[in-house]
Amino acid sequence: MPRHSKNNTASSVFTYHESHTLEYGTKKQRLGRDSLRDFDACHLCLQKARDPVCCPQGHLSCRECALENILAQKKEMQRQTKLLELKQAEEDEERRRKEEAAKEAIITDFERAQTKLLPEALRKAALGSSSSSSASTSTSRVGKSRESMTSSSSSAAARGSESVRSSVDTTPGSSRGNGNPASSVAGQKRKFELSEEEVQAIADREKEEAMRKLEEARAENAKAKLPAFWLVCISVLNS
């Protein structure tokens, strides 16, 4: 700002305006000639304005200085934009890695749970602990166990269907008894249906849970651990 009566005084002490203007520093020196900008000085180079231009706020500057400042601001904005894009790409890559780790954790937990439920021979085959010589034996055992399980499950399913059919036939007010279609619909079992939205929602919940567990494990591992050491002062104080 230009010099005016508020700052152009010969007093040995600060005026009220000067004391409030100079809020920082030691306040041991008055605001002198070098502390103020000339009336026709540029706001950017602080020299006499050449080919002066003025902004809507009333700031005077040289045309060359104004153009250089605008160009520098544009370059800085472009640099900040590139940095923001790089940061966004890094965040997307980190999110993708976390999702992949969560999927691998879900698959590992599922395989571990399924392996625990398998027979001993099939468990060894799944874990890859059996040698090549015993691979054929384990495969035959697995085939026999699968055949026995398949036959038992088919027989159980047949018995269950027969029991359900008999219960439906013997139910009072059934369709065979009175010919009512509503009673036949009520007596039948409803078909289990699972939409794609429900499957996706379940998968998203499992993924979020796995990611939360991974974050908790990572935070637990990142905690500062105090090593075991001996301090003389603690021993002296305790004694």
The answer, yes or no, to whether residue 78 has pLDDT greater than 90, is yes
Length of the chain: 239
> Does the pLDDT value for residue 237 go beyond 50?
yes
Phi/psi of residue 68, each to 5°?
-65, -40
Q: Residues of 76-107 as b/e, b for ≥16 C-beta within 10 angstroms?
A: eeeeeeeeeeeeeeeeeeeeeebeeebeebbe
DSSP letter string, 119-186: -HHHHHHHHT-S-STTHHHHHHHHHHHHHHHHHHHHHHHHHHHHHHHHHHHHSTT-HHHH--HHHHHH
Please state, rounded to an integer, the average pLDDT across all residues of the chain. Answer: 71
Residue whose entry in the numeric block shows the structure tokens 């990611």: 211
- pLDDT one-digit tens code per residue, 110-150: 787 777 666 666 656 656 654 444 445 444 554 554 555 55
What pTM does this model have? 0.39
pLDDT per position as a tens digit, 147-195: 555 555 555 555 555 554 544 444 444 444 445 555 555 567 777 777 7
What's the pLDDT band for 64 if we cut at 50, 70, 90?
A: very high
Picking from 28, 56, 34, 55, the residue whose alpha carbon sits closest to that of residue 44 is 55
Report the sign of the C-alpha dihedral through residues 144, 148, 154, 158, in that order: positive
Contacts of 14 (CB under 8 A, 6+ apart): 22, 27, 30
Mean pLDDT over 70-83 rounds to 93
- pLDDT at residue 195, rounded to an integer: 78
Rounded distance between C-alpha atoms, residue 41 and residue 134, angstroms: 94
Cα angle 154-115-103, degrees, rounded to a multiple of 5:
110
pLDDT computed for residue 24 by the predictor? 56
Pairing assessment for the beta strands 60-62 and 52-54 based on DSSP bridges: antiparallel
